[in-house]
Structure 1
Amino acid sequence: MRDAMASVRPLTRRLDSSRRLDPEHREREVIAAFSEITTEAITTTRLEDLLGLLGKQLCHLLGVTRCSVYLRDGDGRFRGAAGYCESEGDISTAVQAQEAGIQGDRFSREVIESAAPVLISDVPRDPRPHRRTMEHWHVRAMLGVPLVFDGKVIGLIFVDNVQQDHVYTEEDVALAELFARLGALFLRQAMLNAHLKNKAAEVVRQKNTLAYLADVHQKLTTAVLDGASIQTVVTLLGELSAKPVVLYNEDFQVLAWSAPAGLKMTQPPELAARIRSLPSVKQALASLSASCPSTIVPPTPAVWVGRRHLMCRLIIEGQPSGYLGIVEVGRGLEELDTKLAEHGATVLSLQVLSERRQAEAEGQAREDFLSDLLHRTRDAEQLARRGPQFGVNLAQPHVLVRFSLDNASQNVSVSVGRKLVIRSLATVLSVSEPAAVSLPGAVVALLPLPDGSEPRDLRDAVDEVRVAVGPRLRVRTAVISGVCRSPEDFPLAHRELREIDELATSFGWSGGVVTVTELGLFRLVASSGRVKEAVQFAHETIHPLRDADPSLLETWRAFVAAEGRVQATATSLGVHENTIRYRLGKIGKLIGQDPGALDCLLQSRIAFQVLDLAGW
């Protein structure tokens, strides 16, 4: 503006002679002034510069040293736009901090309402001007002239001599009014030109934005069609935005993230919990929806809350499914980042949905494979050939684990219950998620048996799984099958698990883990279905010890569990071997037979198993 305004040639010499000219000659002086600045005005692009030129030229015409120009905003307020002072040069910054027509400024209001020049010859004594403003600028006499276009005041020009009195003649006022009329036409045209230039610039900007978004769409779509993973898509978004990008789940756990290499980040720039707890941030995140897909949190930069995050909602099948964030690091957030984030969130939503569908399809295929294996609906060779695609090598020993469910207390769906069991098994055993199938009232899982292991070696792990899923899935019993070494073994093992579950239900047993091999002969006895007789037999067997010393019954149980070995029994009870022999002698007298005899061991083993299943 200084360069443009400096190019205006001073008209002081003309002014001196014009004071003696008639009004017709002074009008010519105004026209001459406009003709001299027309060329400069055409080449000046900023409206502020044009207003400064206009005010400076009026100062020269009237022989004063200072002016300020105000423009009407869309809300009807008159805000400072440009200013000139002969001693200070460009004073536009100071003028732009001012507003005309405010409360207490009756001088400006009179100019606006009358749409005609208003002269105050003695400002300190006149009540109309805004007193504090006049004192700040040291105004002694002032002329206010409206810029009127189409009957509407679109601006104001105020002129004065800094800290000096000045006499304005009627011809001065008429000259200023004529100048303002031409200035209003000139200003209106300049505003229209600026508007057209802004529109043209906006069209170019929108064209560039559309080209950019088209390029983004092509790159993201190509990546997805080429089978890119979620991490690959997030990395691509980071490259396109040149900023860190973070993908969260609903609980704000980071699923994937990427940052430009130049930032040398080793940890994702997460949206910290302390920021999420701010009421304004909570409200902004809660407002995200399909109709409001993005927001910036915190909305304004603040030192203590760190970086700003542009957050977008992922919506999958109508349900909120996480967030995508672009972080203000290195470069500030831009409007294009919003478009990029919203487009990226849409692509990632589709990607997550696709992977979820694929996982469900793979899970269903794995469940179908296990179902075929349990029921032998396909030949053994075909099952062995299909196994590897589901991570199952049937040449390796396996066991089946049947988790029998208490359906009356379940609050989750069948598929969710199966997933809980699968994930818990994978976590506890530190293996990939095993194959599992949902059956009425049960989940059956297929587990590889490590080399040198026995089914009973899995008891503690299976019991840990039973406890882990307990808050959401009530497991009544868990039974581990014998070792299956070929496809032909699985249907038999499955049938045995079902029979044992039926026995457990008959006896009302719940809350434990057992292996098929532990039940031994009891399975043959109980398979007859004579549950009441089996319970009666068990009670009759231990009846002689019911009223005796409790340590005798405890010793007998430990002795049977140790398969009749005195040393192992003593170790399990923490007593001396002679104590065990002494107690066994007393037990023999009470039951009328040697507790170490084979027949007695078999009978007592079955009796204790029946009592365990019956919860006694």
Structure 2
Amino acid sequence: MPSPLAPDHADPVVGGAACASLAFLLDSARDRLRLARCALHVVGPDGGLRPVAASPGAGDPAPGSPLVDAVLRSARPARGAAAALALPLLVDGELRGVLELEPAGPGPVDEAVAGQVVALAEAALGRPRPVRTAPDRPSRCRLSRAVLAGAEIDEVVAELAELLARPVALLGPDLRVRTWAAPPALRLTDAPALAPAALDAPAVRAALDALGPDRPSVVLLPRPPLVRRHLVAVLLAEGRVAGYLDVIEMGRALGPAETPLAEHAAALLSLQLLGETRRIRASAQAHDDVLADLLLGARSVDDLRRLTTHVGLDLQRPHLVVRLPVAPDRSAGACRAAVVAALGPLLDDPPPAHAGPDDVVVLVRLPADPGPPALRGVHAGLRAALDAVARHTGVRRAVVSGVCHDVGDYPPALAETREVDRIVDALGGRADVVAVTELSTLRLVVNGDRTDVALRFAEQCLGPLRRSDDAGGGGLVETLRSYLDCGAQVRATAAALGVHENTVRYRLGRIEHVTGMDVRRFDTLLAAQLAFQVEGLVGGVETSTTATRDPVVPRGYRS
């Protein structure tokens, strides 16, 4: 049966004479090789396959079988079920078509005869044919117009793939695929970009490393581990490599006219990436400026409410202000990102952070109705992260504010954390997580210039008790501490210490005898609490009952 494509139905790509030769060739091949079917497809201007001839002619030859697609992608022979065979037709090293052979019987195709058929088909396809117009200035203008019209980066890549009729991939600086596009005729499901094995090849790596302003593109040759040629153009932004544009040879050979178009597309994409980077940078700077204004109270409350919403600062929920002091030989701005990275995993989300003159200040978001368990969780998370934070700040300390509910709460909260941090630093700075709310009374009587007075005061209150414990035991210091933590309740103190209530009463009597303090008086208990807070800051022990247990509301003194 003759081929369905006669000379008067000549294919515009192949030509009438070639169509007639190929139709006769396929009829002869079918008889000689005893084929149930043989078909020939040529590569069209769009990079896809189009049928030219088939024998027998029952039904038009339709490209799209897995074998044909495999040859189109690799330019190598492909074998299928029932001894089916698909062979590439190459002219001057360029894939011009695919020959399908499907035997009638169970035996394989005679590959020697099939090779002769391939040679004759390649000779027919090698005759002069209409020349496909190479990419030129109109193509570059088309890309430029697309960018000026607001096309996104992936749309520009798709436009270039359509112009070149090739797969195109945009790679990041790390050579990972960011986006890609390919002509629909190729039926690609994955980007045929540079494989990891190819990127590890020294020759490929050296060629890519050499790209820059003076060498904007390079053609990577199909040498193992590469299986096809790649035209790679570099993207540059602010003097650094911002990515790579990879044009993949598939179906037909890369032409010299494609290099200027790829370089032009890379330049346009570089401008888009630069604009994208600057937009992100401007957004981050606006976020930082509003956060600084919020903490310092540099704008009106109404302005801050509006601006915080605009830059994505969610102040609908309460927050804590946490001051992380930075050593004099360190830069707060330089270590801010590292501090946020260290805190993020322990606080669920990376917190907003502001770099001050000598500190990094972060906002820690709380539940809508934060109670002692939520505060204990924040304190525990900060304590767990302090070692990692201190590697960057040089100081192992965090000062935590009270709960901030409204925009106007943040400036005084920051001022309080800085005031308390100065007191802690003057007392030796050995405390780790310091809660401002636990030191409210201490701040009224102690400042950074009077720490020597605070130390003498603590010694006068607690020194005799410590010396008594050292001399004969008795646990007087621990009893007084627990008595204060338990709201001056004997029963709760006995339960906390694991002793009888009479033991607690006896020890309280001993405390009065040793120190002369009347533990039934509120001012005495307040003085003892201040003394413990001073010693805690000096010795680096926990000064906050919030971090260890729920607070006990005082209901009276000794029972």
Give the structure-2-normalised TM-score: 0.59
In structure 1, what is the Cα distance between the partners aligned to 2:295 and 2:532?
A: 31
CA contact (8 A) 1:243 1:330 kept: no
2:354 match: secondary structure: strand
5+ long unaligned stretches in structure 1: 1-197
Question: Which residue of structure 2 lines up, in the alignment, with residue 507 of structure 1?
Answer: 427
Partner of 1:278: 201
Which residue of the partner structure matches residue 357 of structure 2? 440
Alpha-carbon distance between aligned partners in 2 of 1:485 and 1:234, rounded to the nearest angstrom: 48
1:535 aligns with 2:455: yes
SS in 1 for 2:149: helix
Pairwise CA RMSD: 4.2
Cα offset, 1:531, TM superposition: 0.2
Kindly indicate whether the alpha-carbon contact (under 8 Å) linking 1:244 and 1:329 is maintained by their aligned counterparts in 2: no
How far does residue 292 in structure 1 lie from its aligned partner after superposition? Answer: 1.3
Given that 1:405 and 1:475 are in contact with CA atoms closer than 8 Å, whether structure 2 keeps it comes out as yes
Whose relative contact order is higher, 1 or 2, with alpha carbons under 8 Å and at least 6 apart?
2
Instruction: Determine which of 403, 408, 418 is the counterpart of 2:329.
Output: 408
Residue of structure 1 equivalent to 2:379? 459
Task: Kindly report which structure 2 residues correspond to 1:103-122, keeping only aligned pairs within 5 A, or say none.
Answer: none
Q: Please give the alpha-carbon distance, in whole angstroms, between the structure 2 residues aligned to 1:561 and 1:308.
A: 76
Partner of 1:449: 366
Aligned positions of 1:217-256 closer than 5 A: 217-224=144-151, 228=152, 230-234=153-157, 236-237=159-160, 242-249=166-173, 251-252=174-175, 256=178
1:330/1:426 Cα in 2 relative to 1: closer, same or farther (>3 Å)? farther
Which residue of structure 2 aligns with residue 300 of structure 1? 222
- Bigger Rg over Cα: 1
Distance 2:227 2:199 in 1: 12
CA shift in 2, pair 1:264/1:317, >3 Å: same
Is the Cα contact below 8 Å between 2:217 and 2:234 reproduced in 1? Answer: yes
Q: By how many angstroms is 1:389 displaced?
A: 0.5
Which has the larger share of helix?
1
1:608 to 532, 537, 541: 532
Distance verdict in 2 for CA 1:511–1:532, change over 3 Å: closer
Q: 1:494 aligns with which of 414, 438, 457?
A: 414
CA shift for structure 1 position 451: 0.9
1:252 shift after superposition: 4.4
- Letter of the structure 1 residue corresponding to residue 222 of structure 2: T
Aligned to 2:53: none
User: CA 1:444–1:500 in structure 2 vs 1: closer, same or farther (change >3 Å)?
Assistant: same
Q: Are the aligned partners of 1:373 and 1:491 in contact in 2 as well (CA < 8 Å)?
A: yes
Q: CA deviation at 1:408?
A: 0.7
Q: Where does 1:359-438 land on structure 2 (aligned, <5 Å)?
A: 359-410=280-331, 415-422=333-340, 428-431=346-349, 435-438=352-355
Q: Aligned partners of 2:505, 2:190: CA distance in 1, in Å?
A: 66
Q: Output the CA distance in 2 between the equivalents of 1:331 and 1:513.
A: 67
Contact kept, 8 Å, 1:400 with 1:446, in 2: the verdict is: yes
- Specify the alignment match of 1:315 in structure 2: 236
Query: Structure 1 stretch 269-278 or stretch 500-509: which is displaced more?
Result: 269-278
Cα 1:300–1:551 shift into 2, 3 Å: farther
Which residue of 2 is the match for residue 212 of structure 1?
A: 139
1:497: Cα distance to partner?
A: 1.8
C-alpha change, 1:540 and 1:306, in structure 2 (3 Å) is farther
Judged with a 3 Å threshold, the aligned counterparts in structure 2 of structure 1 residues 311 and 582 are, in CA distance, closer, same or farther, namely farther
Q: Which amino acid aligns with 2:202?
A: P
Supply the distance in 2 between the matched residues of 1:296 and 1:580 (Cα, whole angstroms): 88
CA change 1:212–1:408 in 2 (3 A) is same
Percentage of matched positions with identical amino acids: 33
For the residue of structure 2 that corresponds to 1:408, the secondary structure is coil
Once the two structures are superposed, the pairs formed by residues 112-151 of structure 1 within 5 Å of their partners are none
What CA distance in whole angstroms lies between the structure 2 residues aligned with 1:245 and 1:506?
A: 60
- The one of 251, 258, 274 equivalent to 2:180 is 258
- The equivalent residue for 2:466 is 545
Instruction: Give the C-alpha shift of residue 283 in structure 1.
Output: 1.8
Aligned partners of 1:245 and 1:324 also within 8 Å? yes
Amino acid across the alignment from 1:289: G
Contact 2:347–2:364 (CA under 8 A) maintained in structure 1: no
How many Å separate the matches in 1 of 2:426 and 2:528?
A: 20
Instruction: Give the secondary structure class of the aligned counterpart of 1:357.
Output: helix
| Residue identity opposite 2:147 in structure 1 | L
Instruction: Report the CA distance shift for 1:522/1:234 in structure 2 as closer, same or farther (over 3 A).
Output: farther
The answer (yes or no) to whether the contact 1:384–1:393 under 8 Å persists in 2 is: no
Query: What does residue 525 of structure 1 align with?
Result: 445
Q: 1:422 to 1:323 in 2, by over 3 A?
A: farther
Displacement of 1:484 after TM fit? 2.2
Once the two structures are TM-superposed, the CA of residue 338 in structure 1 deviates from its matched residue by 4.1
- Could you state the TM-score of these two structures normalised by the residue count of structure 1? 0.54
Q: Quote how far apart the aligned CAs of 1:221 are.
A: 3.8
Residues 1:492 and 1:308: Cα distance change in structure 2 (over 3 Å): same
Work out whether residues 322 and 401 of structure 2, in 8 Å CA contact, stay in contact via their aligned partners in 1.
Answer: yes
How much does 1:465 deviate?
Answer: 5.5
Q: Distance in 2 between matches of 1:274 and 1:264?
A: 24
Equivalent pair of 1:407/1:441 in contact (CA under 8 Å): yes
Report the alpha carbon displacement of residue 280 of structure 1 after superposing the two structures with TM: 1.7
CA distance in 1, matches of 2:265, 2:474: 71
1-structure distance, mates of 2:441, 2:426: 17
**Preserved contact between residue 217 and residue 263 of structure 2 (Cα < 8 Å):** yes
1:578 aligns with 2:504: no
3-state SS of paired residue (2:397): strand
- Alpha-carbon distance change, 475 to 596 in structure 1, aligned in 2, over 3 angstroms: farther
Distance 1:571 1:253 in 2: 62
What SS does the aligned partner of 1:482 have?
strand
Q: Deviations over 1:3-22 (max 9, x none)?
A: xxxxxxxxxxxxxxxxxxxx
- Name the CA shift for 1:469/1:382 in 2 (closer, same or farther; >3 Å): same
